Amino acid sequence: KINFGILKYEYSQGDHFKAIEGLKNLIQIEKRRDPVWYITLGKWQKEIAEREGTLNNGEYKEIISHFEKATEIDEKNNLAWHYYALANYEASKFLEGGAISAKREAKLKSNEEYIMYVVFAVKGLIQSISLGEQDVTKTLQDTLRLLKLWFKHGSVTEIDKIIKNGFDIVGIEVW
């Protein structure tokens, strides 16, 4: 806890790279796994990549892996699922590359990597919403993202199936 606190302080003081490397080292040497460490690492790496203009597909994959690890450590962690879903959602938007023509959209739907991001975003959003449904205001953005993906990609069999199964997981009051 003390080491993590020091790293958070270093990051807040602008020593971003030192804090990120320190957190990576902490994760490697500590036997106890804390999902907050992985969530923080993913958030920090994304923030730095956005600031430096280096956020690309490779960066997204690494960032997503941190959030995914947090969901593996604690499957009931709403925040881990939220960030995992959000990173996949944003990675899919990154691959879209802005305005999409009908021809480009058809090409994207055949891109396995793009569909993978959408599938993982949908799965993550459903988990995030189901775990956080006690406070609907906190899950509203995730619900809207899920609906947007459903309307846009509902014709993809795998995505449609995941969303329909999600109806059993997410409480009716959310819809």
Least confident of 2-11, 15-24, 68-77, 137-146: 137-146
Q: Residue 58 pLDDT > 70, yes or no? A: yes
One domain for residues 33 and 90 = no
pLDDT recorded at residue 23: 95
Residue 53 DSSP symbol = T
Distance CA 22, CA 75 (A): 25
The verdict on residue 67 lying in a domain is no
Give the residue, 143 or 62, on which the prediction is more confident: 62
One domain for residues 109 and 51 = no
One domain for residues 14 and 40 = yes
pLDDT recorded at residue 31: 77
Q: Which domain holds residue 93?
A: 75-175
Distance CA 132, CA 84 (A): 14
One domain for residues 170 and 84 = yes
pLDDT recorded at residue 101: 59
The verdict on residue 127 lying in a domain is yes
Q: Residue 102 pLDDT > 90, yes or no? A: no
Distance CA 119, CA 100 (A): 19
One domain for residues 87 and 123 = yes
| Whole-structure pTM value | 0.89
Q: Give the mean pLDDT of the chain.
A: 88
Of 9, 36, 62, the residue that ends a domain is 62
The verdict on residue 68 lying in a domain is no
pLDDT recorded at residue 98: 61
One domain for residues 153 and 96 = yes
Q: Residue 130 pLDDT > 80, yes or no? A: yes
